[in-house]
A and B are shown apart, each in its own frame.
Chain A
Amino acid sequence: MADRTPSIPQDRAAVWAQDLTRTFGEFTAVDHITFSVARGEVFGFLGANGAGKTTAIKMLTGLLVPTSGEARTAGHDVATEPEEVKRRIGYMSQRFALYDDLTVKENIRFYGGVYGLSDRQIADRMAAMLQRLGFERMAGERVGRLPLGWKQKLAFSVALLHEPEVVFLDEPTGGVDPVTRRQFWEMIYAAAHGGTTVFVTTHYMDEAEYCDRVSIMVAGKIAALGTPSELKAQFGADSMDGVFVQLARPAEEAKVQKAAEENKRPEPS
């Protein structure tokens, strides 16, 4: 395991992990994962529920200390310099993270302030952002009154307000209609084009096709890693859905079998 190294060297990678591991007691949530993400890349981080995605993201964003292994995000060690990491990344989750009772402007000002932007910077970037989104007339509106799709777009833009080197998107398009999802991905491409690395998890396999490269986690390990076309060729599938099913199914079946055995045991037969 230890002889494997990430394909992109440490000093040129936006996200870099080697043998990154996290255990909770007996349970190994993330098991020696090694990978790297290039700057400006759109990196899809896939896996079934419980495969260890969330734990991995928590470590990469400096929220959770790794049990062993090493990871660097935006050039800083996640275990020893979490504060440096946090200042250089953006984050948006499926449950969009704006305050419903604050206006669009107040939300923007709050996040700008949290990331240490000056009032001048906040004013300039807010004006540009509202114009880009076509939200100028909504600036004084409370976020709670906006439709879900608008909120998602706004939340993504707010996550980019401090111009982070890497933005982590945790199922950003959950519950959004197809048209908005499309627009959302256009925004992701625009961000990547501007040099921001996008680290995205998703449940939609068609979205996986939009990523530059994709990793698929199964039971705490990275089971596959490559561009969508490489993975499709490798697994002889004609869609990412096919790839995912092939990888995830054995794990699911193992889980079902194990559960069945455990259920049998206490019976007195």
Chain B
Amino acid sequence: MIAFRMSAFRSFVVKETRHILRDRQTLAVLLLMPVAMVLLFGFAIRTDVEDVRVVIVDPSRDARSTDLTRALASTHALRLIAVYSGLQPVEPTLRTGEANVALLLPTDFARRFERGTAEVLVMSDGANANYAATGEAYVRTVVQQWAAENGGGAPVVRVATRMRFNPTLASQNLFVPGLLAFVLTLVSALMTAISIAKEKDTGTMEVLLVSPLRPIQIVVGKVAPYLVLAFVNALTALGLAFVVFGVPVRGSLALLLAAALVYVLVSLALGVLISSRAPNQRTAMMGALLGLMLPTLALSGFIFPIASMPGWLQPVTNIVPATWFILIARGVMLKGVGLAVLWKQCLVLCAMAAILLAAGARSFNDRIE
């Protein structure tokens, strides 16, 4: 009996794999998409970093301030646009996007600097998050380095940063963790939902249900090939990000892949849930796109930093599974931390997986009734 079940299940997985391999166009899109996205996001971010436009307000124009201006101008990633003596032009240049960052020096800069009471202000255009975050960090670094070289190492310059237009901006907006979440969601949730809905559309689901295959075998058989595909995609994205852009995995790769596995299970369960509610393929696809892909893109911190969302929206991000996976992936990849720090996020993700898998299995069984 067990042997019989296994052979029936094997036939089912073979059939599912054939469906996937036969639909060449979809398969090509699924395999090439992570490649295209890594390259797209990667190069977009690189341009940001290499071309930050800076203006300086320097009312005193003394030896020290001129020296600092020269240091900024010779920094590779910064482009000095203008030096003003007054404040008035700063706001318009930031507003029009002519400059991304402004460095404001006080009057009497040289004297204050030598006394150790100099205070400079960095302003940036928060509406353009990537430019602002990178630019602010660059200017800050240049100023501190210059101060250390010219003032004997003591922190004589305080950098006060003020974000204009978008005051609470998170700076760590690296894209690979979010991209992983996006690709895994797409392949597991969207494709599973479509594939199950398709069987309902064509009438083959009836025949499967009347066959000796158990509902759980149908679900697992549907899901298994996409699990493999999702992992191929995840490894492609990670590998490409590392080779082309040097994005590291500082922490444990095993932990990252384990988290990815749990996240894929969450997505697959959501895919099953959506398809069991949807009467046909089109509804399943719209449901998966609006209900899963959109939150994964917009509410997970992938594209828009959660810290800069309105207060009422921030709690909502907690129910988006991608939020938790991205936290884990960022922690492991960029900060190199492990379970000791990330246990809470991992626990939340595991709990989501358990609840959704149970709900998914139940909804699939209910539908048969």
- Chain A positions near chain B (C-beta within 8 angstroms): 61-64, 83, 86-87, 89, 91-102, 106, 109-116, 168
Chain A neighbourhood of B12, CB < 8 A: 110, 113-114
Most buried by B among A63, A96, A113, A168: A113
Q: Are B203 and A86 in contact (CB under 8 A)?
A: no
Q: Are B15 and A63 in contact (CB under 8 A)?
A: no
User: With contacts A61-B210, A63-B368, A87-B212 known, what are 11 further pairs, Cβ within 8 A?
Assistant: A63-B210, A91-B211, A92-B207, A97-B204, A101-B23, A102-B19, A110-B11, A113-B10, A115-B211, A115-B212, A116-B4
A156–B18 CA distance with the chains assembled, in angstroms: 23
**Smallest CB–CB gap between A156 and chain B, Å?**
12
Q: Are A113 and B8 in contact (CB under 8 A)?
A: yes
- Chain B positions near chain A (C-beta within 8 angstroms): 4, 7-8, 10-12, 14-15, 18-19, 22-23, 202-204, 206-214, 368-369
A116–B127 CA distance with the chains assembled, in angstroms: 62
Q: Are B203 and A97 in contact (CB under 8 A)?
A: yes
Q: Are B210 and A91 in contact (CB under 8 A)?
A: yes
Chain A neighbourhood of B211, CB < 8 A: 86, 91, 111, 114-115
**Smallest CB–CB gap between B327 and chain A, Å?**
40
The chain B residue sitting closest to A90, CB to CB, is: B210
A86–B7 CA distance with the chains assembled, in angstroms: 16
A115–B210 CA distance with the chains assembled, in angstroms: 11
Chain A neighbourhood of B7, CB < 8 A: 113, 116
Q: Are A86 and B210 in contact (CB under 8 A)?
A: yes
Q: A86-B210, A95-B202 are in contact. Are A113 and B14 (CB under 8 A)?
A: yes
Chain B neighbourhood of A97, CB < 8 A: 202-204, 206-207
Q: Are A116 and B206 in contact (CB under 8 A)?
A: no
Q: Are B206 and A91 in contact (CB under 8 A)?
A: yes
A64 interface neighbour in B15, B23, B207, B369, Cβ under 8 Å: B369
A89–B203 CA distance with the chains assembled, in angstroms: 18
Q: Are A116 and B15 in contact (CB under 8 A)?
A: no
Chain B neighbourhood of A94, CB < 8 A: 203
Most buried by A among B11, B214, B368: B11
Q: A63-B210, A91-B210, A113-B14 are in contact. Are A99 and B4 (CB under 8 A)?
A: no
A93–B199 CA distance with the chains assembled, in angstroms: 13
The chain B residue sitting closest to A117, CB to CB, is: B7
The chain A residue sitting closest to B206, CB to CB, is: A93
A102–B12 CA distance with the chains assembled, in angstroms: 13
**Smallest CB–CB gap between A224 and chain B, Å?**
27
Q: Are B8 and A106 in contact (CB under 8 A)?
A: no
Q: A64-B369, A109-B11 are in contact. Are A95 and B203 (CB under 8 A)?
A: yes
**Smallest CB–CB gap between A79 and chain B, Å?**
13
A111–B208 CA distance with the chains assembled, in angstroms: 9
The chain B residue sitting closest to A86, CB to CB, is: B212
The chain A residue sitting closest to B209, CB to CB, is: A63
Q: Are A101 and B11 in contact (CB under 8 A)?
A: no
A187–B23 CA distance with the chains assembled, in angstroms: 34
Chain A neighbourhood of B202, CB < 8 A: 95, 97, 99-100
A159–B202 CA distance with the chains assembled, in angstroms: 16
Most buried by B among A93, A97, A100, A110: A97
Chain B neighbourhood of A102, CB < 8 A: 15, 18-19, 22
Chain B neighbourhood of A101, CB < 8 A: 18-19, 22-23
Chain B neighbourhood of A109, CB < 8 A: 11
Q: 10 pairs across A/B with beta carbons < 8 Å?
A: A87-B212, A91-B210, A91-B211, A95-B203, A99-B19, A101-B19, A106-B18, A110-B15, A114-B11, A115-B212
**Smallest CB–CB gap between A76 and chain B, Å?**
12
Chain A neighbourhood of B210, CB < 8 A: 61-63, 86, 89, 91, 168
B203 interface neighbour in A64, A96, A106, A115, Cβ under 8 Å: A96
Q: A93-B203, A93-B206, A109-B11 are in contact. Are A114 and B212 (CB under 8 A)?
A: yes
Chain A neighbourhood of B8, CB < 8 A: 113-116
**Smallest CB–CB gap between B221 and chain A, Å?**
10
A4–B229 CA distance with the chains assembled, in angstroms: 58
**Smallest CB–CB gap between A216 and chain B, Å?**
24
Chain B neighbourhood of A116, CB < 8 A: 4, 7-8, 212
The chain B residue sitting closest to A95, CB to CB, is: B203
A91–B210 CA distance with the chains assembled, in angstroms: 7
Chain B neighbourhood of A89, CB < 8 A: 210
Name the 5 nearest CB pairs between A and B, nearest first: A113-B11, A95-B203, A97-B207, A91-B210, A116-B4
A83–B15 CA distance with the chains assembled, in angstroms: 22
**Smallest CB–CB gap between A24 and chain B, Å?**
9
A96–B206 CA distance with the chains assembled, in angstroms: 10
Most buried by A among B4, B19, B22, B207: B207
Chain A neighbourhood of B203, CB < 8 A: 93-97
Chain B neighbourhood of A115, CB < 8 A: 8, 211-212
Q: Are A93 and B207 in contact (CB under 8 A)?
A: yes
**Smallest CB–CB gap between A208 and chain B, Å?**
23
**Smallest CB–CB gap between B342 and chain A, Å?**
42
A83–B208 CA distance with the chains assembled, in angstroms: 13
A111–B12 CA distance with the chains assembled, in angstroms: 9
